[in-house]
Amino acid sequence: MPVSKEVLDEIALSQEEYQLIVKQLGREPTAVELGMFGSLWSEHCGYKHSKALLKQFPSTGKHVMVKPGEENAGVVNIGDGLAVVFKMESHNHPSAIEPYQGAATGVGGIVRDIFTMGARPIALLNSLRFGPLSEPRNRYLFGGVVSGIAGYGNCLGIPDVGGEVYFADCYSANPLVNALCLGIAEADKLVKARASGEGNVLMLVGADTGRDGLHGASGLASRTFEEERELRSAVQVGNPFLEKLLIEACLELAKTDWIEGIQDLGAAGLTSSSVESASKGGSGIEIDVLKVPRREKGMTPYEVMISESQERMLVVVKRGYEDKVKALFDRYELRSDIIGHVTSDGIARIREGDNVVAEAPVALLTKPPVYRLRTRKPAWLDKLQSLDVKSIPDISLKKIAPTLLKLLASPNIACKHTIYRQYDHQVGNNTIILPGSDAAVLRIQGTSKAISLTTDGNGRYCYLNPFVGGVIAVAEAARNLACSGAEPLALTNCLNFGNPEKNDVYYQLKECIAGMSRACRVLKVPVVSGNVSLYNETKDEAIYPTPVVGMVGLIQDVERHCASGFKNEGDIVFLLGTPQAEDTSLGGSEYLSVIHGLVMGNLTIDLELERRLHRCCIDLISRGTINSAHDCSEGGLLACLAESCLANGHGFNSTNWRTDGRLDTALFGEAQSRIIVSVPPRLVSKLEKLAYKWQVPATALGIVAGTRLVIKDYVNISLEKMERAWLGGLDT
């Protein structure tokens, strides 16, 4: 059967890949087999272009229990017999087409990855990117995505505790929606996503299977798209109520010994869940599609196998326990059907009654080709990096206050309360640092510990210097955790890039991963899970290379944690880290973009200083020396001070601040490795001693005082004025 280009395009396989399938199978594949190969060999499921690069990530550490690719999510031991299970995943393309359902089902998918493993989900975070809100379509996407996340997450009773959002032109047609979920489990009671034991039963639980989400993995997530309308059927519709029932039922099931494994149905639906569990269990599977309950009549075996209908789970039930498992699901009013069984021949056999419609080796289905491309640095990048700072006039004194207000109102810096107040961030009685600080903090009930979570990834930095941008993504996440007092445990990531078949994009991907890996090694943070979202392009324009890092840290003593806001009048404010920002720190800054309309420059970071800075900050917090700590990032020193003021309504006063170099650099430059802390006067010498111990420069900036931000001779502005700008930044 000669296969047409249209057919292959629909499942995003190349002619060469098709020939490879024919060769290895020893025959032409059937239609169902072709659909299964298309899904499993897609970038989304098969990591064809990224696998070779992802190997660079360090993935071991003394606390790591489950590494990337081994299970649905990474697992880290936190002591007291407990483990945290977490992962981040993208739902970019569905959200671009149908923002509410795209974002909602993104939340649904990542939550399933967590409770599938027997862990109760206790936190959600979101990392979002949109085009400027001045465009009506971007406002529609933004509003839809935020309400989709709220609509789904709030219904589940999982607190949405943090995240980030950035706006830039390149995300206009291609918004990014990355969702992170973290769960907690007893370390010795994790459930595997494994189909093993010949004769064990495959049970499909939850929603009926419909035609929604056909070609989600192969089409939407694995190629660029131009005509959004024709792909609307590839977006699924979520039912959070059903998911909530699945959570409770599966967590109850996880406590029994009736099952061999559980796997959720995500991208590529029944195909990936059954074949991947068989692969992990070293077995084969046999499924009869006639036994799969349908939402509509006339569905073909092909459609049943690749449907991405939401809220479905595949449970591998030990033979003899079918009735018990079914009774458990019945109690939750959940439908459960036996659709097949585990075999020992290593074949994925799909039947429609007596007809065999697919019969392919599991090993072949799960072994897509791996591509490595030779790349070189694009010429345009040299141009972008060669910013001549001298060509930009320094800021004048009287412009400082209006510039600060403009930056505070910039959507990238402005308060995100209009977003997070739509999310339930307190359910579960664990959230002790609410959204708005550098990192969220949740106490762990029944222990004296807390965990800290953050997401970070500055696409503009990675665009200007993919390697250093990658380093900074990891460094900033760890710095945010340090500001809460937490030791980093591990990270998960979403790598959002353009079409990897292009030199420039592959170069960005390669460099970013190399940079992230370097930072992970120096800062000793293993990567335990992640996801790759490539082909984020529209009309040949790629997004900024945007790796998003989700990092989780541990606070040993829940009472010793910190937030970003100044707390007490009279506390002394110190800058920890690089005291004098270099002129190059204007490169890639929000200031340069908002005030001068430039996205240019290069970036640097001293990872050794960064590492010592984190040690120092964690040390200060664990000894109870400081009252606040805030990462100095977008908007530079002045925006950072303003945010620390605005958090709890305290002013700042400095009488002896001086700079030798450029004023704009000193106030708004985005030099890395800096944290602003406040300390009671009686503990200043202790702070200085610890800073000396860690060889971190500590510079006294001023004191917490009054209701204005005052730097004598430079700026004097009321909190009220700043707050108005900052709170209203996302209003449209």
Partner 1 sequence: MKFGIIVFPGTWSDRDCYYALNHTLGQTADYIWHTETDLSTYDCIILPGGFSYGDYLRPGAIARFSPIMASVERFAAEGKLVIGICNGFQILCESGLLPGVLRQNDHLQYRCQWTYLKVETTSSPFTTTCQPGQVLKIPISHYEGRYHADEATLFELEINNRVAFRYATPSGEVTQEANPNGALHNIAGIINKNGNVLGMMPHPERACEPILGSSDGNIIWESIIASIQRSTR
Residues contributing to the site for partner 1 (CB under 8 A): 147, 150-151, 154-157, 239-242, 244-245, 332-333, 420-429, 431-432, 434, 443, 445, 558-559
Going by C-alpha positions, the residue among 596, 571, 610 that lies closest to residue 668 is 596
HSE value, Cβ hemisphere, 13 Å, CA-based, for 122: 24
Q: Least separation, in Å, of the C-beta of 309 and partner 1?
A: 17
The amino acid at 259: I
For partner 1, the closer of residues 346 and 428 by Cβ is: 428
Contact by Cβ (8 Å): 614, 629:
no
User: Judged by CB, which is closer to partner 1: 558, or 705?
Assistant: 558
Is 255 or 712 the residue whose CB approaches partner 1 more closely?
255
CB 375 within 8 A of CB 691: no
Residue with tokens 């890039």: 497
Structure tokens at 156: 């589940």
What is the smallest separation between the CB atom of 425 and partner 1, expressed in angstroms? 6
Geometric angle at alpha carbon 433, from 640 and 558, rounded to 5°: 120
Quote the least distance from Cβ 136 to partner 1, whole Å: 19
What is the distance between the alpha carbons of residues 236 and 94, in angstroms, rounded to a whole number?
Answer: 8
Q: Are strands 698-704 and 572-577 parallel, antiparallel or unpaired?
A: antiparallel
Q: 44 an active-site residue?
A: yes
Torsion angle of alpha carbons 463, 464, 465, 471, nearest 10°? Answer: -70
Min. distance of Cβ 335 from partner 1 in angstroms? 14
The distance of closest approach from Cβ of residue 431 to partner 1 in the complex, given in angstroms and rounded to an integer, is: 7
Alpha carbons 88 and 548: distance in angstroms, whole number: 9
Q: Which of 567, 558, 561, 729 is nearest to 648 (CA)?
A: 567
CB of 334 within 8 A of CB of 248? Answer: no
Using alpha carbons, select from 406, 702, 470 the residue that is nearest to residue 603. Answer: 470
Q: How many residues does the chain have?
A: 732
**Catalytic choice (49, 63, 91, 215):** 91
CA dihedral for 557, 558, 560, 563, sign (positive or negative): positive
Query: Is 521:498 a contact under the CB 8 Å cutoff?
Result: no
Minimum separation from the CB atom of position 158 to partner 1 (A): 8
Q: Min. distance of Cβ 101 from partner 1 in angstroms? A: 15
**157 vs 369, beta carbon nearer partner 1:** 157
Q: Nearer Cβ to partner 1, position 243 or 456?
A: 243
Beta carbon of residue 610, minimum distance to partner 1 (angstroms, whole number): 30
Q: Does the active-site annotation cover 91? A: yes
Q: What is the C-alpha separation between 472 and 457, in angstroms, rounded?
A: 8
Query: Per DSSP, what are the bridge partners of residue 128?
Result: 165, 177
Quote the distance between the C-alpha of residue 197 and its chain's center. Answer: 35
Task: Look up residue 434 and give its two tokens.
Answer: 């609410």
Residue with tokens 């989700």: 550
The secondary structure of residue 209, as a DSSP letter, is: B
Q: What is the DSSP letter of 48?
A: T
Which entry of 44, 49, 215, 630 is annotated as an active-site residue?
A: 44
- Report yes or no: 351 and 338 within 8 Å, Cβ to Cβ: no
**Catalytic residue list:** 44, 91
